[in-house]
Structure 1
Amino acid sequence: MTVTATAGGTPGNAPAPISMIERMTVILDAFDPQTPSLSLLDLAERTGLPRSTLHRILDQMIRLRWLTHSTGSYRLGLRTLELGGRAAGHSEIRDVVTPLLHELCRRTGLAGHLAVLDGREVVFLDKAGGRCAAQLPTGLGVRLPAHTTAVGKAILATLDPGLVDSAYRGPLPLSTPRTLRTAADLRHELARIRQRDGLALDNEETLSGIRCVAAPLRGGGPATAALSVCGNHQAVDFKELAPLVRDLAGEAQRALFSRLQQRRVG
């Protein structure tokens, strides 16, 4: 929602925000899908806060990851996206996706994962696939670097590129010789994923000998989660699995949206 400042410097007819929580809320509300990047002047006009006060609060919000700053503009930070994912309800996502994931694993004989983004890591919410899955060091609550995994890259590709650039700078931690090495490598990989309608590939980047294909669960904005199928690199054919994973993600997203709608109506 955009807050419009009056000539007197306060937004509309609303009283000027006094507490730090009120000021932070007004700042976060200044961003919207049409204007994801705002300058200091933009924020001053939209919030009605004095520039000196605003600059001090913005510095604190950047330090706490509510916002990110580059080349004279401010954007929403990773913390807002992390809270958005939690608000979607990890348990609810798992309840909806798990039956579909288990069915796909039964059909393909591969392992399946469901994960969400938390900072620069993915957290696994579920794992399926019997003997194949047992061979992988993943499971409920396990964390892995997002840039090495198919699920992580599938989610990162749905985020604003400026936000990803601010979170990833310089060399990246390596898990295998095939892991993406630099922020530029990641940027190019995410561009390719967007061209493939969100389908991501882990080509032995997390574990040698293991390949994964993933797709994000998303509505109109950033993905709340991603799911993948994984297996021995010789058994995972991207062209064969890509449509299956994409269709599963679409079905899961529709089922999740339907459940949320029913809950609102109820």
Structure 2
Amino acid sequence: MSVLTMEQMGEAVATASRTARELPPSMVERMTLILDLFTTRRTWLGLEDIVQATGLPRSTTHRILEQLVRLEWIEHGNAGYGLGRRSLVLGGGAGDHADLRSAASPYLHDLLLKTGAVIHLAVLEEGRVRYLDKLGGRFAAAVPSRVGGSAPAHCTGLGKAMLAWLEPEQVDELVGSELPARTAATIADLDVLHGELARVRARGGLALERGECYPDIACVAAAVRGPRGPVGSISVVAAASTTLERMAPLVVSAARRIAADLFPDVDARSRRLNVVD
């Protein structure tokens, strides 16, 4: 058995002391060290990124991340780790949707110029869509929607565009078993709604709605998708007699561009991992 000299023992103690100073001693400090890496709601990091940035052991990092995910401070998806529900609510990022509105603004105006129709931006809240923005054309006065107002998700193109990317169980929980009929064209059966959502996915995320929420009004919509699912949706609205299909590529393209601007790191990471649809 080898015996350490006094000099070697001194070096070992010094190394241990440096390590103790460099690595936060408590679990709370280590959790904080990890959480500090997520500077915005757009930040998504892989496990190795977090290990390298914090200097924590890989096993320790993974164990802390699992606890943070379980407690909803962090979320885990294909793109890695990002801020969870609790972090966003605590930081005020879950309610005002300022990032989404800012990213969407130029594309909404571009859609207005190209289509001359009414343009909506909305988010999904408890089975309803809430309108964040409405850009008018000549038809705007005929569309009853208003910024800050809401409508049932199951009978709007905006809502169906977002519901299509949720798990069926989530959809059931959000919309409920009884779907109120706004018009004669409203989908009022849950099984029929799931069939419609399957068609939205088959069209690459394009949702169509004609007279389901308001009579004589139709829209084409697409979701803005983030690493945790849909973060919002946009739509082009016009009279029910309008051929909206020709506007569909513009809507889908705008939604994807908004998502790319909102989540640039995720977009690049997803391309590398081949997880983009």
What residue in structure 1 maps to residue 120 of structure 2?
A: 113
Is 1:216–1:225's contact at 8 Å kept on the other side of the alignment?
Answer: yes
For residues 189-228 of structure 1, the aligned pairs below 5 Å read 189-228=196-235
The counterpart of 2:257, out of the listed 245, 248, 251, is 251
Instruction: Give the letter aligned to residue 155 of structure 2.
Output: T
What residue in structure 1 maps to residue 130 of structure 2?
A: 123
Instruction: Give the letter aligned to residue 91 of structure 1.
Output: A
Distance in 1 between residues matched to 2:176 and 2:188, nearest whole Å: 11
Residue 183 (structure 1) aligned with residue 194 (structure 2):
no
Distance in 2 between residues matched to 1:196 and 1:153, nearest whole Å: 12
What residue in structure 1 maps to residue 177 of structure 2?
A: 170
Distance in 2 between residues matched to 1:232 and 1:174, nearest whole Å: 20
Instruction: Give the letter aligned to residue 128 of structure 1.
Output: L
Distance in 1 between residues matched to 2:209 and 2:136, nearest whole Å: 18
Is 1:230–1:236's contact at 8 Å kept on the other side of the alignment?
Answer: no
Instruction: Give the letter aligned to residue 210 of structure 1.
Output: I
Classify 1:126/1:253 alpha carbon distance in 2 versus 1 (closer, same or farther; 3 Å): same
Distance in 2 between residues matched to 1:245 and 1:103, nearest whole Å: 10
Distance in 2 between residues matched to 1:109 and 1:243, nearest whole Å: 15
Is 1:198–1:216's contact at 8 Å kept on the other side of the alignment?
Answer: yes
Classify 1:29/1:125 alpha carbon distance in 2 versus 1 (closer, same or farther; 3 Å): closer
What residue in structure 2 maps to residue 104 of structure 1?
A: 111
Distance in 1 between residues matched to 2:226 and 2:73, nearest whole Å: 21
What residue in structure 1 maps to residue 236 of structure 2?
A: 229
CA RMSD of aligned residues (A): 3.5
Is 1:172–1:181's contact at 8 Å kept on the other side of the alignment?
Answer: yes
For residues 42-61 of structure 1, the aligned pairs below 5 Å read none
Shift of 1:259: 9.5
Is 1:88–1:224's contact at 8 Å kept on the other side of the alignment?
Answer: no
Residue 241 (structure 1) aligned with residue 247 (structure 2):
yes
For residues 119-158 of structure 1, the aligned pairs below 5 Å read 119-158=126-165
Instruction: Give the letter aligned to residue 244 of structure 1.
Output: L
| 1:226-260 C-alpha deviation (Å, 9 max, x unpaired) | 0000000122322x111111111111111222499
Instruction: Give the letter aligned to residue 179 of structure 1.
Output: T
Distance in 2 between residues matched to 1:122 and 1:116, nearest whole Å: 5
Distance in 1 between residues matched to 2:208 and 2:180, nearest whole Å: 18
Unaligned 5+ residue runs, structure 1?
2-11, 14-22, 35-78, 262-266
How does the TM-score come out when normalised to structure 2? 0.62
| 1:192-244 C-alpha deviation (Å, 9 max, x unpaired) | 11111111011110111111000000133311000000000122322x11111
| 1:6-26 C-alpha deviation (Å, 9 max, x unpaired) | xxxxxx99xxxxxxxxx9974
Unaligned 5+ residue runs, structure 2?
1-45, 47-58, 61-66, 79-84, 268-277
Is 2:163–2:171's contact at 8 Å kept on the other side of the alignment?
Answer: yes
| 1:10-50 C-alpha deviation (Å, 9 max, x unpaired) | xx99xxxxxxxxx997465899559xxxxxxxxxxxxxxxx
Classify 1:154/1:85 alpha carbon distance in 2 versus 1 (closer, same or farther; 3 Å): farther
Instruction: Give the letter aligned to residue 106 of structure 1.
Output: L
Distance in 1 between residues matched to 2:162 and 2:92, nearest whole Å: 11
Instruction: Give the letter aligned to residue 202 of structure 1.
Output: E
How does the TM-score come out when normalised to structure 1? 0.65
| 1:87-106 C-alpha deviation (Å, 9 max, x unpaired) | 38512211221221122112
Say which SS state the counterpart of residue 130 (structure 1) adopts: coil
